[in-house]
Amino acid sequence: MNESQTLGELKASGYQTRSVKDEMRANLIKKLQMGERLFPGVLGYEESVIPQLVNAVLSKHNLILLGTRGQAKSRIIRQLTELLDEKIPIIKGSEINDNPFEPLSAFGRQQIEANGDATEIDWVERDSRFVEKLATPDVTIADIIGDIDPIKAAKGGHLLSDELTIFYGLLPRANRGIFAINELPDLAGKIQVGLFNIMQEGDVQIKGFPVRLPLDVMLVFSANPEDYTARGKIITPLKDRIGAEIATHYPKDIGLGTSITKQEAWTNRTGFENYTIEIPDFISEIVEQIAFEARDDQRIDKRSGVSQRFPITALESVVSNAERRALITEETEIVPRISDVYAALPSMTGKMELEYEGEQIGATKLAKDLIKKACGVIFEGFFLGIDFEPTVRWFDEGNKLILSDTASAAEGAMMLEVVPDLVESTATTLDIEPSNEAKLVSACEFVLEGLYAQNKIARNEEGGYEALTKTRRDRRGMIYEDLTDLEGYN
């Protein structure tokens, strides 16, 4: 692009300015015609959210994304900048990206009047035309719109009513760009009124002085649906000015969830020589299924949701625990196990907002219960119809097995060999070479956890597996049949 340095050069080049919404619409049309992928890295929205976003931009609408945490709302908003031109011209020194052909600010108008075609031009890149603000109750009109700057007035010898004394807020500085407000309902009502006035009327009062600011801006908001629909959270006139209301969502199936987690989780570790990391499919699916179970669990607050960051950070912790074991045992093959999933509990408990019943149980106990349920679901998918009766009978005879999360693959394989049918059936079903001890130990522990999830064997506090007793006594001394495991009531 030939970047003109003065207004005269810009006119001679034939450059035509256009509104930011026209600009985004035109660039979107080009991308669609060329078959470019929109919003790369955002998975699972191809048939739902993205078509609605396309329609909103084509309609030149301001929009709001509704969804609970961890649904890629911020990523989508930030990627809207890809629909802006690579660079646009502004009057050099302008705080609000003044259009050289139609300046808004007093500064811009003065520059044109004083210098004419010799007015200097700057070029602003698309990333600098994006302004984002997290709405909090303490946000003020000065933050969003602007305020009177007494220092400017004193230095320039201006009256306080002079537009040249204004220190512009975030919204005017987003002129000819995108202005995003996250968690819109948290914005105080009077700030929403000021926002609406500048959207609708193009003017605002700053410290009692009226200022005309017909800004050219694309407004994008995000909100939690529960807050958005609460009475009094968003003023009706502002809500009415939002052209498109787009609902985001969590992954709809395990396959999509694991793809997102694989994309986002840091599992390709560095710093090891001759080390390999291989995450079995069942481990990835179990971690993802835990998040799915949590989203359906009545003991967890649905309004807060369970973020997609839950399985991402959990998987990273799973890999880290396997990495720690490799450092201790001096092994070169890192294969996560079920014990590593339990070791990742600290990455799970802090990401769940609990209801009253969940608070009574406790986050750690609840997370363990979710792991058990998830393992049961994934186990049935891998071993449906496989009979592990000899294995269960071995435990019923009073045998126990403890696989420490720091035990080497060789040590684990040696311990598992004594359990009838376990190694053979597991290796055959999952097509694992008996010589690959790391994968075999991981798979066998998965089987044991699956049998525990089916209440065929028990899992003790030390992480060992043993026979399921016929009856157990709870803390109140009451006897009950052990149809389901209530770990921790022993």
**Residue 254: is its pLDDT beyond 60?**
yes
**Rounded average pLDDT over 207-227:** 80
For 39-70, write each residue's pLDDT tens digit.
Answer: 999 999 999 999 999 999 999 999 999 998 88
Would you state the pLDDT for residue 482? 40
Q: Which amino acid is at 302?
A: K
Strand partners, 219: 179
**Residue 160: is its pLDDT beyond 80?**
no
Number of alpha carbons in the 13 Å side-chain half-sphere of residue 244: 22
Tokens of 365: 């106990």
Give 463: exposed, middle or buried? Use CB within 10 Å, 0-12, 13-18, 19+: middle
The DSSP secondary-structure symbol of 463 reads S
CA atoms of 305 and 303, how far apart (whole Å): 5
Residue 441 vs residues 76, 278, 376: alpha-carbon distances, Å: 41, 13, 18
For 321-374, write each residue's pLDDT tens digit.
Answer: 999 999 999 998 999 999 999 999 999 999 999 999 999 999 999 999 999 999
Distance of CA 105 to the CA centre of its chain: 38
Domain range 7-247, its CATH number among 3.40.50.300, 3.40.50.150, 3.20.20.105, 2.70.98.40: 3.40.50.300
Contact 287, 315 (CB under 8 A): yes
For the chain, domain boundaries: 7-247, 254-481
CA atoms of 380 and 446, how far apart (whole Å): 11
**Rounded average pLDDT over 9-18:** 93
Cβ neighbours around 478 below 10 Å, total:
9
The DSSP secondary-structure symbol of 37 reads P
Strand partners, 387: none
For the whole model, what pTM was predicted? 0.85
Is residue 437 helix, strand or coil? Answer: helix
Is residue 135 helix, strand or coil? Answer: coil
Give 44: exposed, middle or buried? Use CB within 10 Å, 0-12, 13-18, 19+: buried
Contact 386, 429 (CB under 8 A): yes
CA atoms of 87 and 63, how far apart (whole Å): 24
Q: How confident is the model at residue 472 (pLDDT cuts 50, 70, 90)?
A: very low
Edge-to-edge order in the sheet of strand 244-247: 130-134, 177-182, 217-223, 63-66, 244-247
Is residue 47 helix, strand or coil? Answer: coil
**Rounded average pLDDT over 20-24:** 97
